[in-house]
């Protein structure tokens, strides 16, 4: 079974943890100095926040799979639709080791498809010869930057 994923940048981690804990009716399943994550069952969502972005807002969206087979299915769909696909393979980000790939929608919103393999104690592990990890996990470290505004009409 798949799980919807949202990662958003926040300015004040503690205030955001308090807000989302009330909103979801449950505390985060993981908290770090710069990051928190909720694994909600109803609705099934992996909701993560971090202070690593340049400005508050949604960083990326995604789908987390429970199996390698589900991840392969998502990858095959993207390839069949001729979507530009960035395959990161086995990688580390957001305190986890995952197998993942990325696609970008026509508006430039990054979508992460991933299968989590396990937790790690650091935000991201640097491979030999690799530059320091970007501020977020999106391809090339560029957040989608969907602003959150108030006073706008609802859809």
C-alpha distances (whole Å) from 149 to each of 9, 22, 92, 109, 154 are 14, 21, 32, 18, 11
pTM: 0.74
- 108 or 43, higher pLDDT: 43
Model confidence over 72-91: pLDDT tens digits? 999 998 888 777 888 887 88
pLDDT at 57 over 60: yes
Six token digits for residue 94: 């957001």
The whole-angstrom separation of Cα 21 and Cα 103 is 30
Sketch out the chain's domains with CATH numbers: 3-141 (3.10.180.10)
Nearest to 3 by CA among 51, 49, 60, 61: 61
The predicted structure's pLDDT at residue 55: 87
Return all residues near 125 (Cβ < 8 A) that are at least 6 apart: 92
Coil, strand or helix: which one is 18?
Answer: helix
pLDDT band at 125, cuts 50/70/90? Answer: confident
């Amino acid at each position: 079974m798949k799980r919807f994923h949202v990662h958003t940048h926040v300015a004040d981690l503690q205030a955001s943890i308090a807000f989302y804990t009330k909103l979801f009716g449950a505390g985060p399943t993981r908290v770090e100095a710069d990051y928190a994550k909720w694994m909600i069952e109803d609705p099934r969502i992996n909701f993560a926040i971090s202070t690593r972005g340049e400005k508050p807002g949604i960083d990326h969206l995604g789908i987390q799979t429970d199996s390698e087979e589900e991840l392969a299915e998502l990858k095959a769909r993207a390839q069949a639709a001729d979507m530009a696909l960035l395959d990161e393979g086995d990688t580390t980000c957001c305190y986890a080791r995952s197998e993942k790939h990325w696609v970008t929608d026509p508006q430039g919103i990054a979508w992460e498809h991933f299968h989590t393999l396990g937790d790690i104690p650091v935000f991201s592990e640097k491979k030999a010869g690799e530059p320091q990890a970007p501020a977020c996990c999106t391809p090339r470290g560029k957040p989608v930057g969907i602003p959150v505004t108030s006073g706008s009409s609802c859809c």
